Structure 1
Amino acid sequence: MDNNRQIEQDSQPPPSLPASARLPINRCNLPAVILGSLTFQAHPVPLEIDGIRDFHDDLFATLDATPEQTDRAQGFMDYMTVHFLLEELEEAGLTPGRKRKSRVNANYLRMVRGWSFDSDGREGAVLKRWVESRFGLLARHHAGSLVDRHSDAYHQYLLQGTRGLYATNALEAQLDLLYTYCQCELAREHSDSTHITLYRGINRMDEHEVLETRVCGRHRVLLNNLNSFTSNRERADEFGDYILVAEIPLPKVFFYNRLLPGMLKGEDEYVVIGGAYEVCISTI
């Protein structure tokens, strides 16, 4: 019996999310080993950042009672402006006479616009650090591989993320609310779905960490903890010789360009939380 059990265990595939890609704790309702797994991709459940809905229940009650998407978007943005004093930064603690432009503009909108411009820039580092904190998924790439925690690329990533958060007005809490609002809107827009098909243009498969190669062009890959996809296959053609096609669980969508007015420049862009995924690779 023991020998049979050992043979069965040896025949099982390795964990879908390597221990080196996750933290032991996070700030949401599922641990990283689960939410970053292939099982979660196949059978997703809602993800909730600790305390956000309870603390801002008045906001979400108001949004639930607002039928028009444009009105909800404006209501959300107005709430963010008032709650985080985004237009009254001296009341939020900014020293008068020392209004550095980078600090004044360091809000949730600046972060997502910066991501659209350069996901390996300072704003991208802040967003990837936020994913690490809230979901426990470690960044794998930022202007270079981050697998070696002693590398210059990793130290620069930490430096950029720290500088991006320094002296900001509860920036991570702003991102918490942005993600939660995004999930509310996706639940309305895709009330009968659990996934959305998204595309990513790539030039080489070795741009991603392959966990397992399967039949019919399918691969199990470890994505970076935050990634850009598009809902437009033709748009993905512009970014590589191959197209990575993935069924993305709706709870893994951080934000998308139609969520708020003027939010992102890229057409049909979705920013997706990473982990292990089964994907299909096809030629253009």
Structure 2
Amino acid sequence: MAYDDDTDLPHRWYASNLVGVPARVLASTDFNAHPTALAIAGTYEAHTALFHLLDSSRDLNEAHDMFVHYLTLAFGLRKPEAHEAQAMGAAEQRRWRSSWRKLLQGWGMDSNGPAGAVLKGWVESRFGLVPSFHKQPLLRFPSPAWVVYLQEKAASRYNNNNIHQQLDLLYTYCQWALRRIQQQDGTNAQHLRLWRGSNQCEEQVVAGRLQNRRCTVRLNNLVSFSLSQEDASCFGDWVLEVQVPIVKVLVFPELLPGQVLQGEQEVLALGGDYEVMARYA
């Protein structure tokens, strides 16, 4: 089939979202330079009791315990006691209850696995940012690569138990925690200085050249960053220094003590087009 333009390429798609900022704007370098607050419609309003409780917490550790306890009760994430399991049917005992924690653990093991597909699908649904990579580049639609992604993001093993609503709360809690840290520190920064290591940067460049150090790259709709250049260099020969808007952050290490991502000093954030400083490690 011949194509007269590239409107069927994912980065040209402008999906609706729940944050009130057009996806085209949200993915742009202009938004990254001048970010505005983002809120997933209805999430705070549906769980005001949780956030009022969080406001009374003494520190992030106590807030974390409150958050985990609330989601455990709200979404039935607690492992049943022995006597409770006996009262359940065999099918109920075997039922996999998806949780935000299992998704993050799955992402930590393989961001291109089924858990990664669900997370990318959540970003697509809530922020309108279409993924550009899952196992392989997601180019023209339809294609075998897109079929695999669509199947994995809809598979019931991870995509059940109101998983999108759980992730809505995780993002909203993350933004609450970042504001709390800034209030305590007396700062008002809009960006986090982060790094990303990769061996596939050339195909992500949309303006400039890596060899000139300053360029613009198009990142996937959800990406991992490192807190230091040294950590990022473990993941590729090219290291990209990025100023990531705080409003695009989903998970940062201090947010969830003991979480699998913390050991890797990994930050999960929304992607799009970023102006970067590139260094060859």
Scaled by the length of structure 1, what TM-score is found?
A: 0.85
Report the CA distance between 1:149 and its aligned residue.
Answer: 1.8
Counterparts of 1:33-52 in structure 2, within 5 Å, are 33-52=24-43
Which runs of 5 or more structure 2 residues have no equivalent in the other structure? 1-8
The alignment's C-alpha RMSD in Å is 2.2
- The aligned residue for residue 212 of structure 1 is 207
- The aligned residue for residue 256 of structure 2 is 260
- The aligned residue for residue 55 of structure 1 is 46
Change (3 A) 1:141 1:164: farther
Which runs of 5 or more structure 1 residues have no equivalent in the other structure? 1-17
Range 132-141 or range 264-273, more displaced: 264-273
Give the letter aligned to residue 189 of structure 1: I
Task: Tell me the distance in 1 between the aligned counterparts of 2:267 and 2:95.
Answer: 25
Instruction: State whether structure 2 residue 161 is matched by structure 1 residue 169.
Output: yes
1:243 to 239, 260, 276: 239
Task: Tell me the distance in 2 between the aligned counterparts of 1:145 and 1:167.
Answer: 22
1:98 to 62, 82, 91: 91
SS of 2:270's partner is: strand
Report the CA distance between 1:167 and its aligned residue.
Answer: 6.6
- The aligned residue for residue 61 of structure 2 is 70
Report the CA distance between 1:188 and its aligned residue.
Answer: 2.1
Aligned residues: 261
Report the CA distance between 1:99 and its aligned residue.
Answer: 3.9
Counterparts of 1:1-284 in structure 2, within 5 Å, are 20-87=11-78, 96-99=89-92, 103-104=96-97, 106-164=98-156, 168-190=160-182, 191-208=187-204, 210-213=205-208, 216-265=212-261, 266-284=263-281
SS of 2:222's partner is: strand
Report the CA distance between 1:165 and its aligned residue.
Answer: 6.2
Indicate if the aligned counterparts of 1:122 and 1:164 stay in contact, CA closer than 8 A.
no
Give the letter aligned to residue 181 of structure 2: E
Report the CA distance between 1:205 and its aligned residue.
Answer: 2.3
Task: Tell me the distance in 1 between the aligned counterparts of 2:95 and 2:111.
Answer: 17
Indicate if the aligned counterparts of 1:24 and 1:32 stay in contact, CA closer than 8 A.
yes
SS of 1:262's partner is: coil
Task: Tell me the distance in 2 between the aligned counterparts of 1:28 and 1:161.
Answer: 21
Indicate if the aligned counterparts of 1:165 and 1:171 stay in contact, CA closer than 8 A.
no
Indicate if the aligned counterparts of 1:53 and 1:60 stay in contact, CA closer than 8 A.
yes
Change (3 A) 1:264 1:167: closer
SS of 1:98's partner is: helix
Give the letter aligned to residue 230 of structure 1: S
Give the letter aligned to residue 281 of structure 1: A
Sequence identity (%)? 38
Task: Tell me the distance in 1 between the aligned counterparts of 2:79 and 2:213.
Answer: 53
Change (3 A) 1:201 1:20: closer
Report the CA distance between 1:241 and its aligned residue.
Answer: 1.1
Give the letter aligned to residue 132 of structure 1: E
Range 213-222 or range 46-55, more displaced: 213-222
Give the letter aligned to residue 260 of structure 1: L
Report the CA distance between 1:254 and its aligned residue.
Answer: 1.1
Give the letter aligned to residue 78 of structure 1: H
Indicate if the aligned counterparts of 2:57 and 2:63 stay in contact, CA closer than 8 A.
yes
Scaled by the length of structure 2, what TM-score is found?
A: 0.86
Indicate if the aligned counterparts of 1:107 and 1:174 stay in contact, CA closer than 8 A.
yes
SS of 2:124's partner is: helix
Indicate if the aligned counterparts of 1:21 and 1:137 stay in contact, CA closer than 8 A.
no
